[in-house]
Amino acid sequence: MGWRWLTAGESHGPGLVGIVEGVPAGVPLTRADIDADLARRQQGYGRGGRQAIERDHVEIFGGVRHGRTLGSPVALLVRNRDYENWAESMSPDPGTPDRQVTRPRPGHADLVGGIKYGHRDLRNVLERASARETTMRVALGAVARAFLKALGIHVAGHVVRIGDVAVPDRDWQLEDFARVDESPVRVIDRTAEARMMARIDEAKAAGDTLGGQFEVWVFGLPVGLGSYVQWDRRLEARMAAAMLSIPAMKAVEMGTGFRQAEQRGSAVHDAIYWDAERGFYRRTNRAGGLEGGITTGMPLVVRVAMKPLSTLGQPLASVNIETKEPYEAQYERSDVTAVPSAVVVGEAMALHVVAEAVLEKFGGDSLDEVRERVETWRKTVRAY
């Protein structure tokens, strides 16, 4: 059995729950490990009022004993502190719903979700479609982070664009990410930081929102994860699907992706070299660590584009689904931009994809067993 996981819960419900199955026994894991990533998700310049209400902390309900995973499913709970103000409105017991939403917000799942599931109260849609759900993705991703870290695999991300302000492209190293969380907008290159924050302030004053781009880098990957033999086993396909599953994400590229469409092949592909100590290696990584759906041993690099958030301080036009009269779209508490926090969600999705791919190739019921198989494989690759 490989790595699989599920989340449940609504934005203003009692909390969010998640289960991840396939975690090998013996992985060091504490609540503090998970809370650290949850705190990172709530940080970032441009976040809204919800982050002042929620201070996310995880409760581990199964799969961990005395700081080590047991090999059984890991079950997590993150409570919504704001639920005390929504207990009646979000009660699972029979009753008459209040705080109903009948004006769909452009850019959200409100209208199409209501049509699909037959809801006349669009709160039944927006509560689950909300990005609040990504809290549990991050919590479960922290479990994957602990597993992969024990194998020498590290995942890190940073913002490369907010609005029209971008940072130059570079081949980053793992140590470059050490202080990225100290930046309010999570940039490694601080030269763009002040201009990004100014753009956020301008958008806030105008009642508007901003999108941007972030990158996730995966270091320490062995050669050979993923496969070319079927379309759904190609690792870039799985990574792209994972990233686009995050609310508000609209485009993904691996390596230099879109730019390759404008270049000649001689400027795109990564030449292959060999020496006795390193074996096969590349001096460039334009492919983003993937060829033919398989990891090359170079860092995996995925860039994701996030649209401006759909909930605007000056709402766009909408139509009441009951009266069919035009209205301004209903406003729910929101952020000006969430690109800096989306980085952490992107990291979590990359962690899940890589953990699944590692177990798919190497298997193993305990961390020691997986680690031994990975190290044996690394020696095999060097001797190829």
Beta carbons of 341 and 329 less than 8 angstroms apart: no
d(CA 238, CA 350): 9
Beta bridge partners of 213: 161, 305
CA-nearest of 55, 345, 340 to 184 is 340
pLDDT in tens, the chain (384 residues): 689 999 999 999 999 999 999 999 999 999 999 999 999 999 988 766 555 556 899 999 999 999 999 999 999 999 999 999 999 999 999 999 899 999 998 999 999 999 999 999 999 999 999 999 999 999 999 999 999 999 999 999 999 999 999 999 999 999 999 999 999 999 999 999 999 999 999 999 988 899 999 999 999 999 999 999 999 999 999 999 999 999 999 999 999 999 999 999 999 999 999 999 889 999 999 999 999 999 999 999 999 999 998 877 777 899 999 999 998 765 555 689 999 999 999 999 999 999 999 999 999 999 999 999 999 999 999 999
Residue in the structure block whose two tokens are 């790595």: 3
The conformational region for residue 363 under phi > 0 = left, psi -120 to 50 = alpha, else beta, is left
Phi, psi dihedral angles at 126 (to 5 degrees): -65, -25
d(CA 110, CA 123): 8
DSSP state, 322? T
pLDDT for the residue 50:
52
d(CA 165, CA 253): 19
Spatial CB neighbours of 277, under 8 Å, sequence gap ≥ 6 = none
pLDDT for the residue 369:
98
Residue in the structure block whose two tokens are 């170079």: 298
pLDDT for the residue 335:
86
Query: DSSP per residue over 93-149, as a string?
Result: SSS---S---SPPTTSSHHHHHHHHT-SSTHHHHHHHSGGGHHHHHHHHHHHHHHHH
Structural domains of the chain, ranges and CATH numbers in brackets: 4-382 (3.60.150.10)
pLDDT for the residue 311:
77
pLDDT for the residue 328:
75
What is the DSSP pairing of strand 15-21 with strand 68-69?
A: unpaired
Residue 148: Cβ within 10 Å count:
21
Give pTM, 2 decimals: 0.95
